[in-house]
Chains A and B, each alone.
Chain A
């Protein structure tokens, strides 16, 4: 069985890549070793096939169109990055901060709208009117702030 390194040397010999000394050594091997000769012939045959039979790879579009497509892809990616940097919802702190601020504002508005009034003006006016004793035909009305009560004294014996 032939050594792999020798196979590589045979391939290099077929491609004329070896020095003169190396080429002389490989030529001697080919004379002495029939197996090496067979491998060398196979290499030469494959090389001759490649020289005439290898297909050339071509792009489906023209060179200008191919590169312009790449250029457009790069430009599009750059514009996406720029747009993302301008969009507030793409920033993590704004994405959560804005809805939170909006919710807080709404809750504040609702709290302000639903704030109970301390005392209706009509009630205050009513008490003001009866601060002084109000004599009626059959009763006296007055309000005591200290006792927090309104008194109606009725002129009637018994009940």
Chain B
């Protein structure tokens, strides 16, 4: 009977600890965290502007599979987290902002603002990298990269 009693106590203990984990998870959902990068693509190599930083090789390799530009430079990079069900606006440059709203994992709504005006709003499953991009002057391009963390 002692062994039976120990088994029962063990069973309840495990169920209790597991149940409390579920309760805690329901009460405190983890925020959705991202890294946002503003990248400039060009065919001219930059040797003068110190504000332009190199982009990591993996991202450049992915870009070169899709886009035509030879060089990619990082203008800005921000890391941020969006609480569950909330939104957050991220300032990437004087003219470029994004607003990310958590719609319940893994979905997010991303709004792109150019000079304060809404340019594009999309809904995205944030399991892979999202790139919002467009043409720029002198046959260059801009890229807003949103990487889930």
Do chains A and B interact in one complex? Answer: yes
> With A151-B133, A159-B134 in contact, do A89 and B112 touch (Cβ < 8 Å)?
no
Residues of A10-57 whose CB lies within 8 A of B = none
Q: Are A154 and B130 in contact (CB under 8 A)?
A: no
**A117-159 contact mask (Cβ, 8 Å, vs B): 1 or 0:** 0011011001100000000001101011011111111111111
Is there a chain B Cβ closer than 8 Å to A107's Cβ? yes
B100 to chain A, nearest CB (A): 14
Q: How far is the CA of A111 from the CA of B42 in the complex (A)?
A: 51
Total chain B interface residues with beta-carbon distance under 8 A? 40
The 7 closest A-B pairs by CB, nearest first: A147-B62, A149-B129, A159-B114, A154-B134, A99-B7, A159-B96, A123-B125
Question: What are 13 A-B contacts with C-beta separation under 8 Å?
Answer: A89-B3, A103-B14, A106-B10, A123-B125, A126-B125, A143-B128, A144-B66, A146-B62, A147-B129, A148-B128, A149-B62, A154-B120, A156-B114
Binding site for A on B (CB under 8 A): 1-4, 6-7, 10-11, 14, 18, 61-63, 65-66, 93, 95-96, 106, 112, 114-115, 119-120, 122, 124-125, 127-137, 142, 145
Binding site for B on A (CB under 8 A): 89, 95-96, 98-99, 102-103, 106-107, 110, 113-114, 119-120, 122-123, 126-127, 138-139, 141, 143-144, 146-159
